[in-house]
């Protein structure tokens, strides 16, 4: 199939409908890709095409218009449309489309982009229309954020060029969607490599990793886990207590009970969500870093994606995932950096002794935080290969 965006640029690729999501990736896997929950689709229209190509126009929650041209046999296109129609009806019946307005308000990008660019900017929370002249109340938007909002973010805002980064990201998000409707073009990757703005960093992390979809589809689950297990003690919670004060002690928030309690709740909730894994050392460092830029609920779901999907086996008791990657890394050094490999052999030092903490902590414990977070940005954007490239 081919996809035409709102700038009339066309891309050939594959469209996937796995209810309740719609996804697209270009054939080169670089030009454009997206994953949308079906509830962000506000309008679907069938277009008349003189060339005989079956085409649909999709209008998303944030006002983007995407044209999908289905290439192939007509019965196949008809079947796709029938499945899409039925899936959209089910989403409407579930009420997920009504939940969208409440959910997107937790995202900082909604604060950045004027509400007037929103498809539903003339609707109140209950679906009724706002009288003309009254205007939407942007001040009501309350986005989620991390400990950095209270205890400051690492680094100097002027030296990090925060204002310039915000301006670049605002332009990109206005043109190509945001949070649940983000279209990922090569420009998105380049902006991530430049560095993410502090206030937007947590949202971009969860969008790129996919944990945003878990948070959207499981509202209130984090609070429920904490409530259901309040007062419980396990082997994992005992281990967590030992490591709390050793979690980024150089950051101001973790020298206070407020920061320690926040970290404790996230680690405890995850240990009960995934009792088979429970808690493993280095998870405290990782979670403490996430909480600087994310709320507890955001960090909880991102931790789930990290442990289960992005870095499987890294934070298990045996750490088999990271130990396997150390062997891969040593092999890469042997092949690409033979002089360094030979030096380690001569001095009889195993390379993994140095590199294991790098991989486990995503470099957060191995360099100043402002540099480590740049690596984490690229990690969520481009995947685990970044860990090997930096190493």
**325 and 368 co-located in one domain:** yes
Domain boundary residue, one of 310, 328, 349: 310
User: Mind spelling out the 3-state secondary structure of 224-262?
Assistant: HHHHHCCCCCCHHHHHHHHHHHHCCCCCHHHHCHHHHHH
Identify whether residues 298 and 360 lie together within a single domain.
no
Same domain, 335 and 285: no
E strand residue ranges, the chain: 2-4, 10-18, 21-26, 33-37, 41-47, 54-60, 65-70
Q: Output the CA–CA distances (angstroms, integers) from residue 185 to 11, 137, 172, 182, 282, in the order listed.
A: 11, 31, 10, 9, 33
Cβ proximity of 234 and 278 under 8 Å = yes
The per-residue pLDDT for range 160-198, each reduced to its tens digit, is 999 999 999 999 999 999 999 999 999 999 999 999 999
Q: Is residue 339 part of a domain?
A: yes
Residues 29 and 79 in one domain: yes
Residue 153 lies in a domain: no
Q: What is the CATH number of the domain that holds 224?
A: 1.10.8.270
Inside any domain, residue 250: yes
| 328 and 263 share one domain | no
Indicate whether 249 and 290 sit together in one domain: yes
CA 281 from centroid of its chain's CA atoms: 23
What would the pLDDT profile of 28-78 be if each residue is shown by its tens digit? 888 999 999 999 999 999 887 666 678 899 999 998 999 998 887 888 888
The answer to whether the Cα torsion of 380, 383, 384, 388 is positive or negative is negative
Residue 303 lies in a domain: yes
Residues 6+ apart with CB under 8 A from 285: 247, 248, 361, 364, 365
Same domain, 238 and 278: yes
Is 359 in the same domain as 297? no
Whole-structure pTM value: 0.90
What total of structural domains would you count in the chain? 3
61: domain CATH number is 2.30.29.30
Provide the β-strand partners of residue 36.
22
Which one of 310, 343, 373 terminates a domain?
Answer: 310
Instruction: List the chain pLDDT tens, one digit each, 391 residues.
Output: 667 665 667 899 999 999 899 999 999 888 999 999 999 999 999 887 666 678 899 999 998 999 998 887 888 888 999 999 999 999 988 888 888 889 999 999 999 886 544 544 444 433 333 343 344 434 455 789 999 999 999 999 999 999 999 999 999 999 999 999 999 999 999 999 999 999 999 999 999 999 999 999 999 999 999 999 998 999 999 999 999 999 999 999 999 999 999 999 999 999 999 999 999 989 999 999 999 999 999 999 999 999 999 999 999 888 999 999 999 999 999 999 999 999 999 999 899 988 999 999 999 999 999 999 999 999 999 999 999 999 9
Q: Is residue 231 assigned to a domain? A: yes
Q: Is residue 270 domain-shared with residue 338, that is, in the same domain?
A: no
Which residues neighbour 34 within 8 Å (Cβ) at sequence distance 6 or greater?
Answer: 23, 24, 177, 181, 182, 183, 184
Instruction: Determine phi and psi for 247, rounding to 5 degrees.
Output: -100, 105
Residue 351 lies in domain = 320-390
Instruction: Provide the CA 188 distance to its chain's centre, in angstroms.
Output: 13
Same domain membership, residue 358 and residue 295: no
Pairing state between β 2-4 and 10-18: antiparallel
Predicted pLDDT of residue 54? 84
- Work out whether the CA dihedral 166, 171, 172, 173 comes out positive or negative: positive
What's 314-326 look like in SS3?
CCCCCCHHHHHHH
Domain membership flag for residue 337: yes
Distance CA 145, CA 166 (A): 16
Whether residues 9 and 90 share a domain: the answer is: yes
Edge-to-edge strands, sheet with 2-4: 33-37, 21-26, 10-18, 2-4, 65-70, 54-60, 41-47
Nearest to 108, CA basis, from 7, 8, 51, 179: 179
Same domain, 57 and 8: yes
Whether 50 and 69 have beta carbons less than 8 Å apart is answered as: no
Let me know if residue 369 belongs to a domain. Answer: yes
In a domain, 170, yes or no: no
| Domain closes at, from 69, 94, 119 | 94
């Amino acid at each position: 199939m081919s996809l035409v965006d709102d700038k009339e640029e066309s891309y050939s690729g594959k469209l996937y409908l796995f209810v309740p999501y719609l996804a697209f990736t270009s054939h080169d896997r670089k030009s454009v890709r997206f994953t949308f929950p079906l509830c962000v689709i506000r309008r679907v229209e069938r277009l008349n095409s003189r060339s005989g190509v079956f085409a649909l126009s999709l209008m998303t929650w944030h006002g983007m218009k995407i044209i999908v041209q289905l290439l192939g046999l007509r019965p196949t296109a008809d079947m796709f449309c029938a499945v899409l129609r039925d899936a959209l009806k089910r989403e409407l019946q579930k009420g997920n489309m009504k939940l969208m307005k409440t959910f997107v308000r937790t995202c900082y990008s909604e604060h950045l982009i004027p509400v007037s660019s929103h498809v539903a900017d003339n609707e109140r929370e209950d679906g009724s229309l706002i009288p003309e002249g009254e205007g939407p109340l942007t001040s009501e938007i309350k986005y989620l954020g991390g400990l950095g909002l209270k205890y400051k973010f690492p680094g100097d805002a002027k030296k990090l060029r925060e204002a310039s980064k915000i301006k670049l990201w605002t332009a990109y998000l206005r043109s190509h969607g945001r949070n649940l409707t983000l279209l990922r073009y090569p420009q998105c990757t380049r902006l991530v490599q430049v560095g993410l703005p502090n206030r937007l960093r947590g949202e971009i992390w969860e969008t790129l990793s996919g944990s945003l979809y878990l948070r959207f589809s499981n509202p209130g689950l984090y609070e429920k886990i904490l409530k259901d297990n309040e007062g419980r003690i396990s082997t994992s919670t005992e281990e967590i207590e030992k490591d709390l004060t050793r979690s980024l002690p150089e950051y101001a928030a973790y020298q206070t009970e407020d920061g320690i309690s926040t970290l404790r709740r996230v680690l405890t909730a995850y240990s009960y969500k995934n009792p088979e894994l429970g808690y493993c050392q280095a998870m405290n460092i990782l979670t403490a870093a996430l909480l600087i830029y994310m709320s507890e609920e955001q960090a909880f779901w991102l931790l789930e994606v990290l442990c289960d999907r992005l870095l499987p086996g890294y934070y298990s008791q045996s750490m088999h995932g990271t130990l396997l990657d150390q062997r891969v890394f040593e092999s890469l050094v042997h092949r690409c950096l033979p002089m360094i490999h030979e030096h380690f052999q001569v001095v009889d030092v195993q390379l993994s002794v140095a590199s294991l903490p790098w991989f486990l902590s995503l470099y957060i414990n191995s360099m100043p935080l402002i540099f480590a977070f740049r690596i984490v940005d690229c990690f969520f954007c481009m995947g685990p290969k970044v860990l090997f490239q930096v190493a």
